[in-house]
């Protein structure tokens, strides 16, 4: 494990773990997950989520910052369940920051990757509480406390070669017998079966809407996720840190 000596104390400088903070929406969370995969930390990440009250009057309050929304309408008074897995814990900034500080000497810095407007209060608080122990990457939204800032042409994603190959195998029996060419039309909404990756792996063509930043492009297809990973690695190196895969 990479180490440095600071004040006579050996301190780990290699990043070997990540925390992903999601908002429950696949389009946002896939950006964070895709970056974690590209950095080689897949399988070493923990997923937390922020939760916004839903249903009834809450649909008129989604423009409020999440902390204020929760004060106006507490989560337990929401008239509609979020439909998110209860196995995924609520993102608690103090708890995550304390864990980063407590384990820093043993496990090194903590990479925090978050995406979506609702995650900003939590990710920013983590950075404020543990600035010397956390490297923060916030996708989609600008944050003053983030450790690296860069622009990509398209959205980050997790549809790399390995993921598409796996999806093609999973969906082979269902999609392969369909007449060719296979045209896919995806119309949003939650799905417990999540066929999107199978569609990406097996379809010959897509019909998409103009608001899909993940699927539409008017440029030569680029690997924005890999480029983002390179930028993150560069920013880590400037701080004396690096991704540690062994």
* CA angle centred on 95, ends 145 and 138, rounded to 5°: 30
Q: Mind giving me the DSSP string for 95-151?
A: HHHHHHHHHHHHH--EEEEEESGGGHHHHHHHHHH-TTTEEEEEESS--TT-S----
Of residues 79 and 190, more confidence is placed in: 190
Residue 176 located in a structural domain: yes
117 and 194 share one domain: no
Measured between alpha carbons, how far apart are the two ends of the chain, in Å? 7
Q: How many domains does the chain have?
A: 2
Residue 63 located in a structural domain: no
Residue 59 located in a structural domain: no
Could you tell me if 112 and 71 are in contact, meaning their C-beta atoms sit under 8 angstroms apart? no
Residue 76 located in a structural domain: no
167 and 151 share one domain: no
Residue 216 located in a structural domain: no
The C-alpha atoms of residue 49 and residue 80 are separated, in whole angstroms, by 17
32 and 132 share one domain: yes
Res. 230 pLDDT band, cuts 50 70 90: very high
188 and 239 share one domain: no
Which pLDDT belongs to residue 11? Answer: 59
191 and 99 share one domain: no
Which tens digits make up the pLDDT trace of 193-229?
A: 678 889 989 999 888 776 665 666 555 666 788 889 9
Q: Which domain holds residue 136?
A: 3-50+90-157+222-243
| CATH assignment at residue 128 | 3.40.50
Res. 182 pLDDT band, cuts 50 70 90: very high
Residue 57 located in a structural domain: no
Which tens digits make up the pLDDT trace of 87-120?
A: 889 899 999 999 999 999 999 999 999 988 889 9
Count the neighbouring beta carbons within 10 Å of the beta carbon of residue 6. 10
141 and 101 share one domain: yes
Residue 65 located in a structural domain: no
Q: Which contacts of 4-11 are long-range, i.e. CB under 8 A and separated by 24 or more positions?
A: 4/240, 9/105, 10/105, 11/104, 11/105
165 and 152 share one domain: no
98 and 31 share one domain: yes
Could you tell me if 138 and 116 are in contact, meaning their C-beta atoms sit under 8 angstroms apart? no
97 and 144 share one domain: yes
Name the packing angle between helices 120-129 and 93-107 (round to 10°): 50
197 and 237 share one domain: no
Query: Among all chains, which residue has been given the structure tokens 């696949």?
Result: 26
41 and 113 share one domain: yes
């Amino acid at each position: 494990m990479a180490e440095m000596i600071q004040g006579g104390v050996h301190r780990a400088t290699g990043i070997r773990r990540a925390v992903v903070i999601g908002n429950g929406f696949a389009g946002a969370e896939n950006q964070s997950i895709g970056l974690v995969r590209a950095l080689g930390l897949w399988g070493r990440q923990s997923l937390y989520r922020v939760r916004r009250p839903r249903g009834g009057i809450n649909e008129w309050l989604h423009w409020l910052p999440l902390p204020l929304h929760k004060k106006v309408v507490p989560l337990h008074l929401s008239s509609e369940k979020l439909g998110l897995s209860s196995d995924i814990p609520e993102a608690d900034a103090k708890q995550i920051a304390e864990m980063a500080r407590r384990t820093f000497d043993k496990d090194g810095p903590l990479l925090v990757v978050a995406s979506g407007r609702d995650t900003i209060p939590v990710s920013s608080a983590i950075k404020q509480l543990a600035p010397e122990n956390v490297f923060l990457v916030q996708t989609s939204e600008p944050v003053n406390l983030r450790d690296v800032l860069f622009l990509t042409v398209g959205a980050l994603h997790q549809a790399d070669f390995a993921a598409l190959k796996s999806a093609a195998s999973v969906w082979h029996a269902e999609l392969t017998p369909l007449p060719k060419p296979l045209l896919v039309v995806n119309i949003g909404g939650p799905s417990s079966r999540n066929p999107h990756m199978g569609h990406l792996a097996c379809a010959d063509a897509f019909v998409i809407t103009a608001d899909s930043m993940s699927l539409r492009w008017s440029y030569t297809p680029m690997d924005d996720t890999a480029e983002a990973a390179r930028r993150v690695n560069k920013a880590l190196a400037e701080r004396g840190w690096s991704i540690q895969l062994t």
